[in-house]
Amino acid sequence: MRSFSSSSGNKYHNYYLRKRRKWPHPIYKQRWHQKLTQQHAMQNLKHQLLLKPNSQINPLTILINSFNLFNSDPSPNAYHFLIKTLMMKNSHHHHIDTLLTHIELNENFETPESLFYDLIEFYGEKNEFQKAIDVFFKVEKFRCLPSVGLLNCLVSVLCKRKEGLVIVPQVLVKSRLMNIRIDESSFVVLIKGLCRFRKAKCAVGLLCHMFEYGIEIDRSCFSLVLSTLCRFRDNVECGEVMGLVEEMRKLGFCFDRMDYVNVIRFLVICGKGLDALELLSEMKRDGFMPDVVCYTVVLDGVISIGEYECAERLFDEMLLCGLVPDISTYNVYVNGLCKQKKFDNGIMMLSCMEEIGCKPNTVTYNTILSAIYESGEIGLANDFLAQVRRKGIMLNSRTYEIMICRMVDTDYISKALDLLEEMVDKRLLPQSATFDDILCKLCQKGLVSKALNLLTEMLGKNVIPGCRSWKALLVELQIKHDYKEIDFSDMEITST
């Protein structure tokens, strides 16, 4: 009988044991197989949607059948893909609710937060704010933890329209029941929404709230609020803006270039030209080189308050800095010369501008011409007007009205009539007061028939007189009515 050694027996024993043993599949192989199966199912789903883009079959049925074909369950990504596909088809939007209901009631996976971001933004673009709100407050039913990021997404969507902005306070209060704590990013979203609709004072209130609670303030957020205050000046006092600036500086904030420009422009509009000049100096001390636009704004500010010596120094400083004045700068400077009645200097400046290649425009000529006529120097004004006409410069409405007013005051009524006719022929409609000046002057001189002819002609050109014209005509025509009982100031003449 053949005997086997113990080592030989163990060898065969191990052989049969290894051959018949059922090894468990490694976990990574199961995951790989599941992932591959879902990929095939997704490809099939996409193929079905491409084959039948306008199919009447419920998209949910297509989804389930595609995954059943590979003996797999629909994945969260599959639902997300299908919902995004339906968002792009206007006729299939109603299927989104069906899919959401199915996920809520029939699935047990944790729905990815990205799906709710897309849904909230989708409903926001359609202005269906209530649906966006409902989706947010139901996220827990989809086995998804609500986050401050999702809340910010909803608030951002609501802040895009005024009707949505009104709902935001209610949403924030209700979100506290979901244990969501708003952070710095939430305040930024709110402040941007308020600034979008010019609610600058409310935005300042939020900034103050952030100060009190020690919430870090983003510099760009401060710049946005400051810019809104400066650009939209409804019910905003100069002191409020400068108060905000001082508070922010105490917290260590520094202006950037645009902050300086916005506040300088705001100060000039508020008639604080010298404050704007001081801020310009501070801007340079902080290392920001002002550009031509910035210098021009400040130049306009100091000229508007009569600080002409400051204006001269500022203009010289700009040239010494190597900046080349543009047409706007020259127009502001020429306006300053005209306000000082230095008309000869203003006219000489026109030649200087042409020599350096900065050709004077319509604004430049109209500024000088209107200023000369306003001063009463009719001879100089007429000479300059002839020069302007030779150059083919178009006069604007304000210049015509100043010229007409000056001609009426100096009893050059025929010249005023010519200017009025020229103005109307150029489709520039005079103000009622300008027409009234001419017509009343004609009546005072007893030229009633000429006044009536002018009235008829101007009405045909859609030029409507004011109450003074009608009153003057009634007096001159000696209509037997007690016109003193008529409130002419309340008369409204409209053209049809």
First to last CA, the chain: 132
Candidates 408, 345, 353, 394; CA nearest to 371 is 345
- 302 Rama class: left (phi>0) / alpha (psi -120 to 50) / beta: alpha
In this structure, which long-range contacts are made by residues 486-492, counting pairs with CB atoms below 8 Å and at least 24 apart in sequence? 491/467
| Confidence at residue 104, expressed as pLDDT on a 0 to 100 scale | 94
Per-domain residue ranges for the chain?
Answer: 195-254
Averaged pLDDT, groups of 10, the chain, 496 residues long: 49 51 54 75 83 75 89 91 90 89 94 96 94 96 94 95 93 92 90 90 86 81 88 75 82 86 93 94 93 96 95 94 94 96 93 91 91 88 88 87 87 88 87 88 87 86 83 73 47 43
| Confidence at residue 10, expressed as pLDDT on a 0 to 100 scale | 54
CB neighbour list of residue 85: distance below 8 Å, 6 or more residues apart: 49, 59
Q: Among the residues of 273-342, which ranges form H helices?
A: 273-285, 292-304, 308-320, 327-339
Largest pairwise CA distance in the chain: 158
Q: Which amino acid is at 386?
A: A
Place of tokens 């979100």: 175
| Confidence at residue 395, expressed as pLDDT on a 0 to 100 scale | 86
- Supply the pTM of this predicted model: 0.72
Q: Is residue 114 exposed (0-12), middle (13-18) or buried (19+ Cβ within 10 Å)?
A: middle
Helix (H) or strand (E) holding 229: helix 219-231
| Confidence at residue 344, expressed as pLDDT on a 0 to 100 scale | 93
